[in-house]
Structure 1
Amino acid sequence: MSNYSKWFRIPKDIVFGWGCLAYLKELEGQKAVIVTDKVMQNLGFVEKVKGYLAEAGIESVVFDQVEPDPCRQTVMKGVEVMNQFQPDLIVGLGGGSSIDAAKAMWIFYEHPNVTWEEIFVPFTGVPKLRKKARFVAIPSTSGTATEVTLAAVITNRDVEPNVKEFTLSYEVTPDIAICDPELPSTMPPVVTANTGFDVMVHAVEAYVSVNATDVTDPIALKSTAMVFEWLPKAFANGNDKEAREKMHTASLMAGFTFTNTALGLVHSTAHQIGAEYGIPHGRANAIMLPYVVQYNTPAVASRYADVARAIGYESKDAYDGTAKFLEAVRGLQKLLGIPASIKDTGVDEADFLAKVDKLAENAMKDGSTPANPRIPTVEEIKNIFLCAYYGRDVL
């Protein structure tokens, strides 16, 4: 991971604020492949990006076939385009799916002989990049923060249940992140809610991570407070420019934290129900958060009380602070229309019970689990899943 006990690594260049998409005109390069989805095409952002690149003298082609929770097959289709066009810039444009798919394409474009199994080995599996291309990330959601992180999540649909696998390598941290609030301002309320909750989970899991530091802690607390203040406003009025910018900045800040601390059991479990049942990632995180907080409380109640204090809730002791944080989380869930349990999303009970053992095993193997403040057993993860399905407290 590192020869040093602590570190703080983010992209070299980060630009943010309204209108900063025009920073593309200042890039240097010859050819760019834009990796995106049909939504970005339909909203006109692909043409805007191509136009700015053209002003910089950069020729570009578009791969717009990225689907939600992109799979291995989609990645390899994109690699074919890169092999033919030979870009020296790769531009990931869109939500976490597009940017993560672009990161994986980048790996195979530069190292065609590397295997999937190799690149998912944490910290050592991805070979050195940037021999052929640099990477530019332009997020369209205020949520995943993959534009500043070391991760790329790819779904393996060749196994049952489906599994989300991911790289953990600072090699795939983008060279440039361009965070223009104009892009997420097009999100409908449900996407605003899901991705906004993802921001909060990133920050909270970073704050309670075993790798948390004095550098990441204040950023995590601030970004959490920003979510509670600004997400309801962005959800209620997507045209609120201040709320949109604050949420985009909060997402960026949360990304700074968790790319340097890793995440935890909320993500480990959310990855499984997201991959298998198609629950959007941020919504899956939102559902799992209260149950994992209950499980983690014996280990880090004082840290959850810190979070409660950051969002305006004083407490008489650590457990009271944790209870107030949970109350705030559930209140925000209700306000945003997020289901309180897995069952409430429509997941069939018999199917879930048939798969819960495997879901728990996969969550135990997930790369986020080791940073959780309380290391679970597979049976404990299974219990968390069952409680989350039925809406029961984790005891």
Structure 2
Amino acid sequence: MSESLNIAFFGSSLVSSYWNGAATYYRGIVHALHRRGHRVTFFEPDAFERQQHRDIEDPDWARVVVYPGEGEDGVSAALEQARGADVVVKASGVGVFDALLEREVLALRSPETAVVFWDVDAPATLERITEDPADPFRALIPRYDLVLTYGGGPPVVNAYRGFAARDCIPVYNALDPATHHPVSAEQRFAADLGFLGNRLPDREARVDRFFFEAARRAPDQRFLLGGSGWDDTVPENVRLLGHVSTRDHNALNCSVRMVLNVNRESMARFGWSPPTRVFEAAGAGACLIVDAWDGIEEFLEPGREVLVAHNGEEIAEYLKSIDPEHARQIGERARQRLLADQTYAHRALEVERLLLAKTPVTA
């Protein structure tokens, strides 16, 4: 057993997936680190009604500290609580106090404390700071001991190193088989194609191009759309679900014939960015269709373990040509592939190695 790390983690939310697509990623990583013997305190703001839309209670595998989403006293107190940790992590996209946290966590850095920036939306961050030479985060990047990213592959690594990051390592999404696994189908989610995703500016056009276009081309097929922000101006064969709790993700993934994932524009452009939905769906044994992006073959084999589409027309063709049994076989091959080498247990070993290399700990 390796040394036990005391990790202070500032992120959007561990307990709520409401307007927070990174929730299952955080849970997978943090839970797996706990199983490795590390102690994580997760600091999250009371913002965007996430605390009113919790998916889980405070887990026994992490300490959760919720601080006020308004006024700086609460976040300042949280930073003080984090002082003395072996590792302090600032994740991107907390939603409030991001600039303050990016700056102030560096004040906690010492010979005994490593400070890590963990970017859960690296393509968007890099495009933002590239377009704005005055963005204050640019000057902070070289001061972090390490930059970890949710994905992005070589383009993201090279871009961060171009901004003088000491090092940049992708830690991809993965499967938590205890959380995402096959369950019985439920009639309330019966459909031919399901898609989960909040309505966001750099996703909306791609959802229209892939999901809504497929619905328009296959009027005899049934489509489910889950996520916040969508209104009723959708094709008649699309049923809106609104926010779908993570508690229902397995049931949805196991009830539809196929599951679609559509990356946001920036993530598709950079590639190597499989979102949590990919691992959730494949982990449940769903037949997954993804929009085409570079690097997918490093995670699942196109045609055998995942279906790749360049537009809604190709998705409509899959719906016409892939029967339920064929879909089941594709989904099961994907599930077995992820169980073999892409679980959060695998990712935690990698994160542990990286963090121990940056800290003089020993406890």
| TM-score tier after normalising by the smaller chain length | 0.3 to 0.5
Higher helix share: 1
Higher strand share: 2
